[in-house]
């Protein structure tokens, strides 16, 4: 299919595996592999086994890709996120990026009861993080820095919540 024809497709149109592969910069065989590893990835299959991805499928795949490639989770780590937080959360990561999705999924703002903590992406254990990189690329270092900045922001927000809670407790005494 020519480039102008792809651009003229409606945003809610179904996409072929080659279009999704190109959009996500992931080989087609990886998308097929993910179908086997993540039950939530279910493209429509037509006669002859041709796959058609809905916009929600693409968002989910973007989220899986972000968690695997940007957040450093393993397949098991992403499966755990899908199991614990659901496909909608992972799709939101795909639409907004992990940093923004984390901000929008907060449960309680600072002005409310500090007993409720914001919903964060799970802190990956060493079994869910790919530590096999000997010589990290500049991209990997930048991604790690971004993740550390997100963690720092989470810690600062939690610190503020604790201060708020302490003030509230002291005032009640």
Instruction: Please state the φ and ψ torsions of residue 25, each to the nearest 5 degrees.
Output: 55, 50
CA 54 vs. chain centroid, Å, equals 18
Question: Regarding predicted confidence, which is higher, 146 or 17?
Answer: 17
pLDDT digits (tens, 9 = 90+) for 43-97: 998 888 888 999 889 999 999 998 888 888 888 989 998 998 888 888 888 887 6
* Two tokens, residue 129: 């993080």
User: Residue 118, CB half-sphere, CA atoms under 13 Å: how many?
Assistant: 22
- Mean pLDDT comparison of 57-61, 92-96, 113-117, 118-122, highest-scoring range: 57-61
Rounded distance between C-alpha atoms, residue 154 and residue 160, angstroms:
10
Residue 37: pLDDT band by 50, 70, 90 thresholds? Answer: very high
DSSP assignment of 11-80: TTS-EEHHHHHHHHT--HHHHHHHHHH-TT---EE-GGG-EEE-HHHHHHHHHHHIIIIIS-B-HHHHHH
* Two tokens, residue 15: 């996409």
CA 139 vs. chain centroid, Å, equals 18
**pTM listed for this prediction:** 0.56
Tell me the average pLDDT across 96-123: 49
The answer as to CATH 1.10.1660.10 being correct for domain 8-172 is yes
As a whole number, the mean pLDDT across the chain is 76
């Amino acid at each position: 299919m020519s480039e102008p024809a792809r651009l003229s497709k409606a945003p809610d149109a179904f996409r072929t595996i080659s279009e999704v592969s190109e959009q996500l910069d992931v080989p087609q065989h990886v998308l097929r592999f993910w179908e086997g590893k993540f039950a939530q990835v279910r493209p429509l299959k037509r006669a002859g086994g041709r796959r058609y991805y809905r916009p929600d499928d693409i968002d989910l795949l973007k989220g899986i890709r972000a968690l695997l490639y940007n957040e450093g989770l393993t397949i098991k780590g992403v499966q755990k996120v899908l199991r614990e937080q659901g496909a909608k959360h992972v799709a939101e990561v795909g639409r907004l990026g992990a940093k923004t999705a984390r901000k929008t999924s907060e449960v309680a703002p600072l002005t409310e009861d500090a007993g409720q903590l914001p919903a964060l992406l799970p802190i990956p254990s060493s079994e869910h993080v790919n530590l096999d990189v000997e010589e990290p690329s500049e991209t990997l270092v930048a991604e790690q820095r971004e993740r550390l900045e997100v963690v720092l922001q989470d810690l600062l927000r939690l610190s503020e919540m604790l201060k708020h809670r302490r003030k509230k407790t002291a005032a009640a005494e």
